[in-house]
Amino acid sequence: MFSSNVSVYSFDLAKPGGENAALVTPCDMAKVPLGSMSVDIAVFCLSLMGTNFWDFIQEADRVLKPGGRLLISEVKSRFQGGDRNTSNQLKSGGVKRKRDQDNDEERNGDVRSIMSSTNSLEEFIKNIEQLGFIVDKIDENNSHFILAFFRKTGHTSMQKSNSHGHGMKESFSMKPCVYKKR
């Protein structure tokens, strides 16, 4: 059961039409109208389509409380080689990581070896980790989508070093999402 103090915010670049239009706040996803460290959970579901998607993720970092959760659902084909699972371990339910700060490095190495020589999904995850997030689970079981579950530690591992602010690679981009007529 949910507390009566729960608030849900929905942001989009444009206000939709229809009966649910009042539930969506149109805004630039890089500048949502919320205070810093005011949110427990941020969800990106097929919403990292802009060329400045790193700005969206950094905004989620800004509004999330330490310990907050970041959930990302993205189309597999947007990552190079994203139409295949990265390993048998991912096929059997995703990579799960729950780490204390004391054993971050040890487990981090384990997942890196699972994902070694994979696609840009690994680089995407590394960039999010540089903001100070820990991967709880990467699930590639769905044939079309990747589900990524992160937890904010509150500790940024890289100093601000470029226009993306937290050491994110300016050259990293995801493939455009291609829609097929059915």
**pLDDT per position as a tens digit, 119-161:** 588 888 988 998 899 999 999 999 889 999 999 997 664 433 3
Residue 110 included in any domain = yes
Give me the helices (H) in 88-179, please: 88-91, 104-115, 120-130
With a cut of 70, which residues of the chain have pLDDT below it?
1-3, 80-119, 155-172, 175-182
Instruction: Tell me if 47 sits within 8 A of 116, measured CB to CB.
Output: no
Residue 14 included in any domain = no
Cβ count within 10 A of residue 24 = 16
Instruction: Note down the domain range covering 145.
Output: 35-152
Residue 89 included in any domain = yes
Q: Total structural domains in the chain? A: 1
